[in-house]
């Protein structure tokens, strides 16, 4: 899928139809030449939760920068920049997730995130499973 611009753009635009928890989405997709896509956007969830993303998909390589804020406060973000030598992150190198309390220095392995498959469905499902469902169980909804 990542090696076909038309299939990937169809896939990205269909994400709001695949996750009923998405309340709205703004997705901008630009082709830059024959082999490069730039995708930016915000996917909105209940209670002020957002997935802000920026991806560059190239047949040879991909890059991304995706963060999850709630009411403008960053909850966590994913980063493919190689972290300092940290053996705990070796299993998903260079992908990692940065989380509170010291969000710029507290890193965890980013399981199921890669350059070989679309990451947005994994990240959307994580928001549904860990953020939205946790809120509902905490508030008794």
3 has pLDDT over 70? no
For the segment 25-35, what is each residue's pLDDT rounded down to a tens digit?
999 988 887 77
Using 50, 70 and 90 to split pLDDT, how confident is the model at 45?
very high
State the average pLDDT over residues 63-80: 87
Over 90: is that where the pLDDT of 5 sits?
Answer: no
Q: For residue 59, what pLDDT is reported?
A: 61
For residue 38, pLDDT beyond 80 = yes
| Three-point CA angle 82, 108, 91, nearest 5° | 65
Lowest mean pLDDT among 8-12, 56-60, 116-120, 122-126: 56-60
Looking at the DSSP bridge assignments, the partners of residue 55 are 39, 64
The pLDDT of 88-96, averaged and rounded, is 86
């Amino acid at each position: 899928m990542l090696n076909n611009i038309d299939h990937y753009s169809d896939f990205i635009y269909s994400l709001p139809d695949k996750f009923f928890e998405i309340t709205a989405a703004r997705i901008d997709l630009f082709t830059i030449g024959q082999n490069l896509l730039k995708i930016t956007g915000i996917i909105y969830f209940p209670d002020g939760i957002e997935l802000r993303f920026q991806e560059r998909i190239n047949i040879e390589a991909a890059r991304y920068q995706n963060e999850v804020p709630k009411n403008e406060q960053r909850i966590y973000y994913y980063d493919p920049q190689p972290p300092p030598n940290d053996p705990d992150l070796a299993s998903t190198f260079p992908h990692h997730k940065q989380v509170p309390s010291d969000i710029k220095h507290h890193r965890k392995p980013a399981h199921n995130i890669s350059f070989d498959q679309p990451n947005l469905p994994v990240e959307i499902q994580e928001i549904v499973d860990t953020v939205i469902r946790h809120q509902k169980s905490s508030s008794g909804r």
